[in-house]
Structure 1
Amino acid sequence: MQSSSNLFPVALISAERRGDLSEDVYRLKPGNSPDGSVELAVTRLGLADVPENRGIPVILLHGSFSNRRFWYSPKGIGLGAYLARRGFDVWIAEMRGHGLSKRNQAYARNRVADYARYDLPAIGAFVREQSAQIPHWIGHSLGGTTLAAALGGQYLGAPAVASVALFGCQVSRTYWPLKIPPVEWGGRFILKRMAEVSGARFKRGPEDEPVGVLIENMRWHGLFGRFGDAERDWWKGLADVDVPLLAVSAAGDHQDPDWACRKLFEQVGTEHRQYVCLGRKHGFTEDFGHVEMLVSKAAQAEVWPLVEQWLKDPITPLLGAPAQALAAV
């Protein structure tokens, strides 16, 4: 089968019409990481009746224990579907072993470091090739963390990135037991005996997560941990980021609280940055939660239009307030 890309092997595995939307699913095999078995599924959404009229490209990254359905439900509801109907060229990536992405041979050892260093650059290059434009990126939770790692590690950045939006994303929340070395060592020992953690069993979501991601997270929050890998300090690298940034927290989010999301936002050195907290105190109708900030009736009415506004113009302040005022709220 002829590849759909000149970059690396890519197969179009399905092309369907879903109501008013077109849904094309590609399977990428970049071959750029130590595990050559990695294959990544990327779904492209657009308007079915205007397939050649592609707008601004935007890449959506799901969080932990999740998949593409966070952005696009079988009934055609979600931020991804909303943006496609508004004329954007929407690309929804699924991380290794999630959704339509097959489990790679070293699945249990998958880490954010692998996603950031190998997978996101390959996805970005493919989208740029297909759309002939520079894409915007949106990440929720672990998807946002992966974006932050890619930016801080200088695996992604200008001029290949138009803007980045991080929803419910932080790396500063302290888990005090992990500061006690025997507790951290014991946790690692238990996790290393497993291949994955079940999202369904622990009621975290529809997907499993490889233990490598959890062990990596424990290391970040250990006694001498830092946001980075053995080669690079991603936290320090964020100070050199030079792409427009939107960071969004939710007042009712207890998993990734507002103060921690704000701390990550403040570390990013770009000149053009904005911060929004979704809560009653800041003019919204409710204190949004971790998932509800993007998946809820209220999000459809209040958050999705803000995302559209941001993507069309990442420089002009949202909500009619100066960017620095938003950052200081």
Structure 2
Amino acid sequence: MTQHASVSTISQFSLYLPYRDGHLHLRQLLPATPDFSKTPILMLHGAMSNGRVFYSQNGRGLGCFLARAGFIVYVLDTAGRGLSLPKITRDFTLGQGEVIREQIPLVQQFILNLHQQTCQGINAVAPSKVHWCAHSWGGVLMASSLARYPQLQQSVRSLLTFGSKRTIRVKSFKKWLMVDLFWNRLAPGLAIGQGYLAADKLGVGMDNESRASLNQSIDWVRGDWRDHDDGFDYAKAAKKALWPQAWFIAGQNDTVLGHPEDVADMVRECGFEQVRLTLLSKANGFKHDYGHGDMLTHLDAAGDHFLQILDWYLAFDLCVFRD
């Protein structure tokens, strides 16, 4: 465990979970007076990204915002990304299946165990559930884990996503350029040559993508929601899942990677019983027509929709659900 500088009453810690031949990095964001009996929040990044989309060393980001409000927040770097080791190289073989089947369940149980052990030491009641929050493709991976594992359905209190879609059906020149040409055609070719997609060096993402994850995500965006390793039918499981309360957020200016229509398609495909769908637009009273990334990184977000997100989480602890 490595402590980092305290910023605006927040302390940041790096927790390392042994995983295969390396470790997973989990950033823990603690308020000034941590309450381990409060429902914690787990955050997951999307493709070509890492956990830094939710926090920064100087205290920016949704994770830091919620920690300042009293929540204990955990931000995962999936295998090979961020501070997780080993890094993605030519020999890296893991794909999105390992995130769904291994990494998310591992981190979920770690958080529950950590809070249980801490609460035993202070004679408090430990939480039995964790809030889940994801950006972009991370929402697809979290929804997949939930659909597949009933035990996770029992231990997840809510699912909040930003720009998450499983399929991209919207048609436009920009979509053709970004998805059909680059992601579906050029990126696999680059990954064959390099052994992985060096998204950071190419300037198209925060972090790199393995060949397996790249190819699997391409298949899912265009086709069936099935596990590439064992054929598990996530679409079928989703219809039977006991989903937690969910909130899907889309941006008006997110015209390709999380188009509002594609986000709505994912909501319908999952079949949530209790779900909100919000469009971040000026027409809906927000400060900006937000895009795919800046719905989390914009300087105005903390004084805009982050406040509604805080109300959402506070309502759970008050046992009140507000639309």
How would you bin the TM-score normalised by the shorter chain?
A: 0.7 to 0.9
Change in Cα spacing, 1:187 to 1:78, as seen in structure 2 (3 Å) is closer
What 5-or-longer segments of structure 2 have no aligned partner? 117-126, 170-174
Residue in structure 2 matched with residue 154 of structure 1 by the alignment: 149
The DSSP-based 3-state class of the residue aligned with 1:287 is coil
Structure with greater contact order relative to length (CA < 8 Å, sep ≥ 6):
2
* Bigger proportion of residues as helix: 2
Q: Which TM-score applies when normalising by structure 1?
A: 0.81
Amino acid at match of 1:267: E
Residue in structure 2 matched with residue 194 of structure 1 by the alignment: 194
Provide the C-alpha distance between the structure 2 equivalents of 1:212 and 1:74, rounded to a whole number of angstroms: 31
Shift of 1:191: 3.2
Matches within 5 A, 1:1-329: 12=1, 14-19=2-7, 20-30=9-19, 36-48=20-32, 50-51=33-34, 55-103=38-86, 108-132=92-116, 133=127, 134-154=129-149, 157-174=152-169, 188=188, 191-222=191-222, 225-230=223-228, 231-242=231-242, 243-254=244-255, 255-313=257-315, 316-318=321-323
The DSSP-based 3-state class of the residue aligned with 1:205 is coil
Equivalent residues of 1:58, 1:90 under 8 A apart: yes
Provide the C-alpha distance between the structure 2 equivalents of 1:23 and 1:131, rounded to a whole number of angstroms: 17
Identity rate, percent: 22
Provide the C-alpha distance between the structure 1 equivalents of 2:264 and 2:322, rounded to a whole number of angstroms: 17
Deviations 1:174-211 (A, max 9, x none): 4889xx9xx97997566334322122333223311112
Provide the C-alpha distance between the structure 2 equivalents of 1:18 and 1:186, rounded to a whole number of angstroms: 43
Equivalent residues of 2:160, 2:248 under 8 A apart: yes
Q: Which moved more, 1:187-196 or 1:307-316?
A: 187-196
Deviations 1:126-162 (A, max 9, x none): 0011123211000001211211221232376321111
Deviations 1:69-109 (A, max 9, x none): 21111211111111111000111111111111012688632
Provide the C-alpha distance between the structure 1 equivalents of 2:188 and 2:115, rounded to a whole number of angstroms: 42
Provide the C-alpha distance between the structure 2 equivalents of 1:54 and 1:166, rounded to a whole number of angstroms: 24
Provide the C-alpha distance between the structure 2 equivalents of 1:155 and 1:118, rounded to a whole number of angstroms: 15
Provide the C-alpha distance between the structure 2 equivalents of 1:220 and 1:39, rounded to a whole number of angstroms: 27
Equivalent residues of 1:150, 1:156 under 8 A apart: no
Structure 1 runs of 4+ with >4 Å offset: 51-54, 104-107, 183-190
The DSSP-based 3-state class of the residue aligned with 1:29 is strand
The DSSP-based 3-state class of the residue aligned with 2:152 is coil
Amino acid at match of 1:18: S
Provide the C-alpha distance between the structure 1 equivalents of 2:245 and 2:198, rounded to a whole number of angstroms: 36
Q: Which TM-score applies when normalising by structure 2?
A: 0.82
Equivalent residues of 2:150, 2:241 under 8 A apart: no
Equivalent residues of 1:111, 1:212 under 8 A apart: yes
The DSSP-based 3-state class of the residue aligned with 1:113 is helix
Q: Which moved more, 1:69-78 or 1:195-204?
A: 195-204
Q: CA RMSD in A?
A: 2.7
Shift of 1:240: 2.4
Equivalent residues of 1:54, 1:88 under 8 A apart: no
Change in Cα spacing, 1:211 to 1:283, as seen in structure 2 (3 Å) is same
Equivalent residues of 1:149, 1:228 under 8 A apart: no
